[in-house]
Amino acid sequence: MSSIAGVAEIRSHFPALERRHNGLAVAYFDGPGGTQVPGAVAAAVNDYLLRHNANTHWTFPSSRETDAALADSRAALADWLGGAPEEIVFGANMTTLTFHLGRALGRGWRPGDIVAVTELDHHANSDPWRELARERGLEVRTIRMRRADGRLDADDAALKLTAGVRLLALGAASNALGTINDVAQLTAQAHAVGARVFIDGVHYAAHQMPDVRAWDCDFFACSAYKFYGPHVGVLWGRRELLAALDAPKLAPASREPPELLETGTLNHEGIVGAGAAVDFLAGLAGGGGTRRARLARVSQALHERGEELLRQLWSGLSGIGGVELYGPPPGSARTATVSFAVSGRDSAAVAAALAERAVFVSHGDFYATTAVRILGHERDGLVRAGCAAYTTAEEVARLIEGVRAIARG
């Protein structure tokens, strides 16, 4: 952590951390559903709306300022993902972008073509493709998840990725279990049979810096509100693939990437905030270098600190009678996100009891409905706690103590 700002300095940027509930400082473990926002991001949104607000591509100053601000944000997100600015598409959210991309790709597919999804994924990365399959007569193959450790079954993936598969829809990391998949290997397997690869990076990008070039994937989607930004979706695609898409467009609208996949007037202030979130992360690094180099240092340092918090959280929870943890253990390829169940307690009741202690966690199936069903918690759900850049060891200890008290009941 010596190469980046310490946790106390990081926390000083988040006004939400001043909140108190029942006389206690709130500990936010709901990051997998959306992180808190630093003041610099809110200030960038505020500044755009109050001083530069305009529509695009006109000659007056505020319109030109808007064009420049959007271009700056594309460049920032390109640095974060490892692509180029002209490959960055903005939209309402990852789900909407996935449906839109699917419609564009599907216009070139025929009945009998195959799409592959996984049991581990958030349904935003399976249901858009299932809907497309229903509309166009496609076959859907589902790669199994191993219940024992929350990982994809590599043998089943090899069986499912065969000739005729047009697309593999794969999550880089599970938002429910924290599992990090071997994206590069699975992408290579899919490419070997002629398939394109779409990566849901929503959870991954909240914990590690993506590298779309190193993975060699074709499309990658994420959401800025998972890494300290506003509610904006981001899609990266290879420029040549974006340019070839048969995307639904209004006749006067640009058909050049990245605007090809963007419809209507965008959420300019949200896009500005997304770029500011990337700059906030880069600003946590000491020393010089390019923005991507600084982001890499920050990402690695935060990941290492997250692993320490994960070990503390896993060890503490696993020592409580009646608590069952799911997903890969510490030391595995995973994020600092833990889902668990307390015997005899519905996940909503556990989350509500923790909230009374000013410990905010999420509960339910987190739209990873298939994975949670396989784990046997379709009805009662799981409790999910995620560590973020502002999480402290003291907050983890409070969470553990709260679960211990609830389990004793």
pLDDT digits (tens, 9 = 90+) for 135-182: 999 999 999 999 999 999 999 999 999 999 999 999 999 999 999 999
* Structural domains in the chain (count): 2
pLDDT of residue 3: 78
Looking at the fold, whether 275 and 296 belong to one and the same domain comes out as no
Check whether residue 117 and residue 219 sit in a common domain: yes
Q: Based on the domain organization, do 168 and 70 belong to the same domain?
A: yes
Position 287 scores a pLDDT of 77
Region 189-215: what's the mean pLDDT? Answer: 98
Q: Where is the domain boundary, 254, 281, 308?
A: 281
Q: How much is the average pLDDT of 216-235?
A: 98
Residue range 375-401: average pLDDT? Answer: 98
Residue 128: inside a domain, yes or no? yes
Can you give the pLDDT at residue 409?
Answer: 81
Arithmetic mean of pLDDT over the chain: 97
Query: Which has more confidence, 288 or 369?
Result: 369
| pLDDT band per the 50, 70, 90 thresholds, residue 359 | very high
pLDDT single digits (tens) 63-101: 999 999 999 999 999 999 999 999 999 999 999 999 999
382 and 326 together in one domain: yes
144 & 185 share domain: yes
Is residue 58 in some structural domain? yes
pLDDT of residue 137: 98
pLDDT at residue 1 is higher than 60: no
* Rounded average pLDDT over 229-256: 97
The proportion of the chain whose per-residue pLDDT surpasses 70, expressed as a percent, equals 100
**Parent domain of 89:** 42-281
238, 257, 281 — which closes off a domain? 281
Q: Flag whether pLDDT at 2 surpasses 70.
A: no
- pLDDT for 261 beyond 50: yes
Secondary structure of the chain as H, E, C letters: CCCECCHHHHHCCCHHHHCEECCEECEECEHHHCCCCCHHHHHHHHHHHHHCCCCCCCCCHHHHHHHHHHHHHHHHHHHHHCCCHHHEEEECCHHHHHHHHHHHHHCCCCCCCEEEEECCCCHHHCHHHHHHHHHHCCEEEEECEECCCCEECHHHHHHHCCCCEEEEEEECECCCCCEECCHHHHHHHHHHCCCEEEEECCCHHHCCCCCHHHHCCCEEEEEHHHCCCCCCEEEEECHHHHHHCCCCCCCCCCCCCCHHHCCCCCCHHHHHHHHHHHHHHHHCECCCCCHHHHHHHHHHHHHHHHHHHHHHHHHHHHCCCCEEEECCCCCCCECCEEEEEECCCCHHHHHHHHHHCCEECEEECCCCHHHHHHCCCCCCCEEEEECCCCCCHHHHHHHHHHHHHHHHC
pLDDT of residue 150: 97
**Residues 199 and 66 reside in one and the same domain:** yes
Q: What is the mean pLDDT of residues 184-195?
A: 98
What mean pLDDT is predicted for residues 302-321? 98
The reported pLDDT for the residue numbered 126 is: 97
- Mean pLDDT, residues 193-203 taken together: 98
Mean pLDDT over 226-239 rounds to 98
Whether 235 maps to a domain, the answer reads yes
Instruction: Tell whether 220 and 195 lie within a shared domain.
Output: yes
* pLDDT (0 to 100) of residue 288: 86
pTM over 0.95? The answer is: yes
130 and 254 in a single domain? The answer is yes
**341 is a domain residue:** yes
Same domain, 240 and 132: yes
Q: Is residue 2 part of a domain?
A: no
Indicate which CATH number applies to the domain containing 101.
3.40.640.10
Average pLDDT over residues 334-356: 98
Examine the domain organization and report whether 85 and 206 are in the same domain. Answer: yes
Q: Is residue 1 part of a domain?
A: no
Residue where a domain stops, chosen among 233, 254, 281? 281
Looking at the domain assignment, is residue 152 inside a domain?
yes
Same structural domain, 14 and 113: no
Pair 99, 138 in one domain: yes
Flag whether 381 is in a domain: yes
Which CATH number does the domain housing residue 398 bear? 3.90.1150.10
Where does the pLDDT of residue 226 fall: very low under 50, low under 70, confident under 90, or very high at 90 and above?
very high
